[in-house]
Structure 1
Amino acid sequence: MEDWNELRLVLAIQRGGGLTAASAALGIDHSTAFRRLKALEAQLGVRLFERLPGGVYQPTEAGARIAAGAERMEDEFLALGRDVVGGDHRLSGRLRVTSSETLAYSQLTAHLAAFRRAHPGIVVELSIDNRVLSLSRREADIALRPVRPKEGDLWGRKLAGVAWALYAAPAYVEAHGGVPKSGKLDGHALIGWDEAASGIRAAEWLAQSAAPSAVVYRTNSLVNQLIAARAGVGLALLPCYLGDDDPGVVRAAARPVAELEGELWIVTHADLRKTARVRAFFDLVGAGLANQADLFEGRRSGRAIV
């Protein structure tokens, strides 16, 4: 095996579980990935993947060994890249940032505009993705995350707590009343996530607090849930930094939901923490978001009709 791309292909198929995900990750078409895998297996004289129903590719022992070796090589390559970038003292170049849809929609963009004015030589690439992208694999240089990082090679700080509350259009609350202090949602039309949502604390809380029949509108986008609440569809459970800052909705319950208190973190890889453009982003954007802690934590005087 003389071509690094052969190793990358095996690793991508193992990570993605099939050719479709691997071809997307590598930027090649499905037929090219298939031909390259067949050629590699013929060259080595060994089968690297078992083809299972549904297009699933399960690595054989040989395939798993090659993928493990490719991952070690990738780790070394990425570490070398981080080492070089980590010593970059220029306030110029590309900076890849990842954020959730709600943060980008409501608060982040204004801080990015201020960052651009202060550092016009830095090109910010914002990836709006609710998944946790890998900073070790350089899928992003900086992440704004709703959870404390667990990986030991990451470095960052907590910017604020994050509170959640129930919101609706003023006309809806005036017509149907607010949520009583008991927290019961009886009689209210609810806006929620699609039924396939899993691992979302707010979605789980809503499912435990009301019957499925109470949910009259479902969407996997919190921004669209806000828009639906603004249009009078019903109550939406939203982070306070999204709901309290929107003039089209009010709190249907004065207090945030205590069980859903979360956090907002700004994180980078430890190897990049001294890079000039990373430090500049932490200092300007990170500090700007931290200064809004009252909004994130639901302590700003919100409009409520209860």
Structure 2
Amino acid sequence: MNDWNDLRLVLAVHRASSLTSAAARLNVDHSTAFRRLKALETRLGMRLFERLSGGIYQATEAGLRMACAAERMEDEALALDRALTGHDHRLSGRLRVTSSETLAYSRLTRHLAAFRQAHPGVVVELATDNRVLNLSRREADVALRPVRPREADLWGRRLAQVAWGFYAAPAYLAEQGGPVPSLDALASHRLIGWEYGTMSIQAAEWLARMAPQDAFVYRSNSLVNQLVAARSGIGLALLPCYLGDSDHGVVRALPQPVSDLEGELWIVAHTDLKGTARVRAFFDVVGDGLSRERELFEGRGGASPPQSWTQSMQY
């Protein structure tokens, strides 16, 4: 085993349980990955994977041992990479940032523009992903997360609490006779919700408990799309206040944010990258910029429904 690429291939196939997905992750075509894996098994004189129906690859005992060894080698290589990057004092190079689609759409981009103006030598790569990416594996250098980090090897700070509220188009509220009087009245409204099975989001779980299923007339796994649906008059959408209050096409349907829903916004990075100049600069410019918008994130920047609704109807 003198070729690291062979070990990477075995590890990728084991993680994906698919040769096609592994090839895509390694940026090689399927036929190349197939030939390399077949040649490796021939050279070793043993099967590393059982080929099951549906294109599933299941590691044999030998394949699993090789994948575990490859993962340990990968961990060491990543630790070395982080250690070297952590001593990089240049305000230049690549900085990979991950954020939710909602934050990127609503607030983040203007702060990225300020960061680019302050540090034009840094190339920002933004991954809009609602998953929690693995910072230890350098899937991102900096993460803006809606939850408190639990990993012991991360450092960062909380930028704000995140409030949620119900929003609708002014025309929809006019059709219904005005703002929603209370949460108890939700069942009588047309609701916009998440796709079935979206149970890892606190707001989705809360809304599913609070409203009858037949009240939902539209579903989407994208909060940005839910905002657009509310703006179009489809119904009420439960949105983060920083998203709803900053959009001129919708107004609050209820005067106050939902007291049962309060999230957080964190900026985090791996502890090994504390000394990286571009990471610290990002914390200073973007982190501080988002923190200054705390009132908006915490739902203290929006007008009450009667006022915002009547003002919007004047236009």
TM-score, normalized by length of structure 2? 0.93
Deviating more after overlay: 190-199 vs 122-131: 190-199
Matched, 1:284 2:285: yes
Aligned to 2:255: 254
Change (3 A) 1:113 1:78: same
Runs of 4+ in 1 over 4 A off after TM superposition: none
Unaligned runs of 5+ in 1: none
The answer to whether the 8 A contact 1:48-1:61 is kept is yes
Unaligned runs of 5+ in 2: 310-315
User: 1:44 deviation in Å?
Assistant: 1.1
State, as a whole percentage, how many aligned pairs show the same letter.
69
Q: Give the distance between the partners of 1:17 and 1:277, measured in 2 at CA.
A: 36
Where in structure 2 are the equivalents of 1:157-306 lying within 5 Å? 157-176=157-176, 177-305=178-306
Where in structure 2 are the equivalents of 1:79-94 lying within 5 Å? 79-94=79-94
2:110 match: secondary structure: helix
Matched, 1:128 2:128: yes
The answer to whether the 8 A contact 2:256-2:304 is kept is no
The answer to whether the 8 A contact 2:192-2:226 is kept is yes
Aligned to 2:138: 138
The answer to whether the 8 A contact 1:102-1:242 is kept is yes
Q: Give the distance between the partners of 2:7 and 2:220, measured in 1 at CA.
A: 39
The answer to whether the 8 A contact 1:244-1:303 is kept is no
User: 1:188 deviation in Å?
Assistant: 0.7
Aligned to 2:119: 119
Q: Give the distance between the partners of 2:184 and 2:292, measured in 1 at CA.
A: 30
User: 1:213 deviation in Å?
Assistant: 2.0
User: 1:50 deviation in Å?
Assistant: 2.0
Q: Deviation per CA, 1:246-286, whole angstroms, max 9, x where unpaired?
A: 11101111121222211111010100011111000001100
What one-letter code is carried by the residue in structure 2 that aligns with 1:258?
S
User: 1:156 deviation in Å?
Assistant: 0.8
What one-letter code is carried by the residue in structure 1 that aligns with 2:41?
E
Q: Deviation per CA, 1:20-59, whole angstroms, max 9, x where unpaired?
A: 2211211112222222222211111111122233222221
Deviating more after overlay: 171-180 vs 8-17: 171-180
Matched, 1:149 2:149: yes
Q: Give the distance between the partners of 2:23 and 2:233, measured in 1 at CA.
A: 43
The answer to whether the 8 A contact 1:9-1:22 is kept is yes
Matched, 1:95 2:92: no
RMSD: 1.4
Change (3 A) 1:31 1:303: farther
Q: Give the distance between the partners of 2:141 and 2:243, measured in 1 at CA.
A: 25
User: 1:182 deviation in Å?
Assistant: 4.2
TM-score, normalized by length of structure 1? 0.96
The answer to whether the 8 A contact 1:49-1:60 is kept is yes
What one-letter code is carried by the residue in structure 2 that aligns with 1:31?
S
Matched, 1:35 2:42: no
User: 1:236 deviation in Å?
Assistant: 0.6
Q: Give the distance between the partners of 1:70 and 1:148, measured in 2 at CA.
A: 31
1:163 match: secondary structure: strand
Q: Give the distance between the partners of 1:158 and 1:220, measured in 2 at CA.
A: 26
Q: Give the distance between the partners of 2:47 and 2:303, measured in 1 at CA.
A: 62
What one-letter code is carried by the residue in structure 2 that aligns with 1:33?
A
Q: How many pairs does the alignment contain? A: 306
The answer to whether the 8 A contact 1:184-1:209 is kept is no
User: 1:173 deviation in Å?
Assistant: 1.3
Q: Give the distance between the partners of 1:272 and 1:102, measured in 2 at CA.
A: 26
Q: Deviation per CA, 1:159-198, whole angstroms, max 9, x where unpaired?
A: 1111111100011112214333344412211111121323
User: 1:303 deviation in Å?
Assistant: 4.7
